Amino acid sequence: MNDAFVTFEKVRKTYDGRTLVVSDLDLEIAKGEFLTMLGPSGSGKTTCLMMLAGFEHPTAGRITLAGRPIDGVPPHKRDIGVVFQNYALFPHMTVLENVAFPLDVRKLSAAETEQRARAALGMVHLQHLADRKPGQLSGGQQQRVALARALVFEPVLILMDEPLGALDKQLREAMQYEIKHLHERLGVTIVYVTHDQGEALTMSNRVAVFNEGRIQQLSTPKELYEHPQNAFVASFIGENNAVHGTLKSVAGNAGEVETPAGLLRCDLLGDRSPGARKLVSIRPERVHIAAAGATYPNVMPARVEEVIYHGDHLRLRLATMGSSDFIAKVPNAESSREFVAGQELRIGFNISDCLALDAPAR
């Protein structure tokens, strides 16, 4: 990336001298980008954020911001705003005083401090609550105050560490859109850490999927979901049916994989050697209930184990291909059929609806 604003160059982090929490990380983030570091607990994503903020130091490698190394720069001099999950608001201060605090530390005049603090509250639609104390606010309002405080001194970069983790589902989703739209309006660079895949897909320009201290894939949300590069990403991003098998033959970008239910014709990624162990990834929404006479490259018998109503779709748990937990999502608007437990049916999917990846080592 030619316009890299933040770079990690061969960055390593270990706490005990033996186990690498972050392993040889190379990452470039563009100015104005919203990049999310996504992964399970212990994958190294938060450690990367803390090193960028200056609260942790790399064991090896270099981090630069706007072309300048920042490894020796203390946190308060990096011109970075940070938002944490626990808000970290001062309970004895008003909302306005909390937001103004970074400006007080920077010795701005009282008039400019108040003007900028009120403007920051306006960005998050909380100017009417300026005189309240944090304890008088809801969780979502407190999070918006923390966001205003991170924005008020006009930092070059904002870091967010699981900022919505303490909110209920409906409020969390509303805040996702609010932060996304705020980023679009301001154009500030944001690095966001979460373990919530839906959050990452909703908000980000690009997502870096972490596991065991390494980036498994760095792509746009659509590319991650539609074209995972390995079995970990396929299983971690979105819901996924995983079918184990052995590669039998290759034709162009497709291959035939022998599974417990017979041959599957799939898009192929990774090892193309006959006999290679494969994990076939099939998204539940790509599974079609095959009507009589329907033709698909892949058709399998299945038995309905459970039917769950989800409003806009039915979730069918099926017994097929050696599993009793194979999931199909059937849009209600596209099907007038009734499904009941014990029902025998056929499922079908296209070559492009299933992806044969290298199976993880056992």
Query: Do 172 and 96 have their domain in common?
Result: yes
Clarify whether residues 27 and 146 are in a common domain.
yes
Residues 74-107 have pLDDT tens digits of 998 899 999 988 878 999 999 999 999 999 888 8
User: What average pLDDT does range 286-293 have in this prediction?
Assistant: 85
Tokens of 217: 């894939």
Q: Is the pLDDT of residue 49 over 90?
A: yes
Report the pLDDT value the prediction gives residue 306, as an integer from 0 to 100. 96
Question: How far is residue 25's CA from residue 208's CA, in Å, rounded to a whole number?
Answer: 11
Give the residue from 240, 242, 264 showing the smallest Cα distance to 329: 240
Integer Cα distance of 152 and 120 in angstroms: 5
Residue 61 pLDDT > 70:
yes
Torsion of CA 142, 147, 152, 154, to 10 degrees: 180
pTM of the model: 0.89
Given a cut of 60, is residue 71 above it in pLDDT? Answer: yes
- Identify which of 280, 233, 220 has the alpha carbon closest to the alpha carbon of residue 254: 280
Query: Span 214-229, mean pLDDT?
Result: 95
Q: How many CA atoms lie within 13 A of 200 on its CB side?
A: 32
Q: How far apart are CA 66 and CA 86, in angstroms?
A: 29
Q: At what angle do helices 169-186 and 139-151 cross, to 10 degrees?
A: 20
- pLDDT (0 to 100) of residue 362: 65
* Last residue of one domain, picked from the residues 168, 200, 231: 231
Whats the size of the chain, residue-wise? 362
Per-residue model confidence as pLDDT tens digits over 325-338? 999 999 887 667 78
So what's the pLDDT on residue 2?
53
338 HSE (CA, 13 A, CB side): 1
Q: Say what the pLDDT of residue 120 is.
A: 92
pLDDT at 115: 94
Instruction: State phi, psi for 253 to the nearest 5 degrees.
Output: -95, 5
User: How many domains does the chain divide into?
Assistant: 2
Position 335 scores a pLDDT of: 65
pLDDT tens, 183-202?
Answer: 998 899 999 999 999 999 99
Same domain, 60 and 194: yes
Domain with 282 in it: what CATH number? 2.40.50.100
CB of 92 closer than 8 Å to CB of 116:
no
Please tell me the number of Cα atoms within 13 Å of 168 on its side-chain side: 5
- Return all residues near 164 (Cβ < 8 A) that are at least 6 apart: 85, 143, 172, 175, 176, 194, 196, 199
C-alpha 95/C-alpha 91 separation (Å) is 9
Q: Which of 231, 262, 286 is a domain's end point?
A: 231
| DSSP-assigned letters across all residues of 286-344 | G-EE--TT---SEEEEEEEEEEEE-SSEEEEEEEETTEEEEEEEEEGGG------TT-E
The band of 64, judged by pLDDT with boundaries at 50, 70 and 90, is very high
Q: Are 254 and 266 contacting, i.e. CB atoms less than 8 angstroms apart?
A: yes
* CB-based contacts of 198, cutoff 8 Å, min separation 6: none
- Return the pLDDT at 214: 96
How does pLDDT run across 292-329, given as a tens digit for each residue? 777 899 999 999 999 999 888 999 999 998 889 999 99
- 90 and 152: one domain? yes
Mean pLDDT on 351-356: 94
Q: Do 286 and 318 have their domain in common?
A: yes
* Edge-to-edge order in the sheet of strand 4-14: 20-30, 4-14, 60-65, 68-69
Please tell me whether residues 126 and 204 are part of one structural domain: yes
- Which CATH number fits the domain that encloses residue 88? 3.40.50.300
Mean pLDDT of 117-143: 92
pLDDT digits (tens, 9 = 90+) for 112-128: 999 999 999 998 889 99
Please answer whether residues 145 and 124 qualify as being in contact, where contact means their C-beta atoms are separated by less than 8 angstroms. Answer: yes
Looking at the structure, tell me whether residues 149 and 253 fall in a common domain.
no
Is the same domain home to 40 and 93?
yes
Q: How confident is the model at residue 217 (pLDDT cuts 50, 70, 90)?
A: very high
Same domain? For 260 and 150 the reply is no
Let me know whether 110 and 132 are in one domain: yes
Closest C-alpha among 68, 74, 23, 69 to residue 48: 23
| Side-chain half-sphere exposure of 68, counting CA atoms within 13 A | 7
Same domain (yes/no): 160, 266? no
Question: What residues make up the domain containing 66?
Answer: 4-231
Do 262 and 300 meet the contact criterion of CB atoms below 8 Å apart? yes
Of 199, 231, 263, which residue is a domain's last?
231
Claim to verify: residue 289 and residue 212 sit in the same structural domain = no
209 or 260, higher pLDDT: 209
Supply the mean pLDDT for the chain.
92
Residue 147 has pLDDT above 60, yes or no: yes
23 closest CA partner among 45, 50, 39, 5:
45
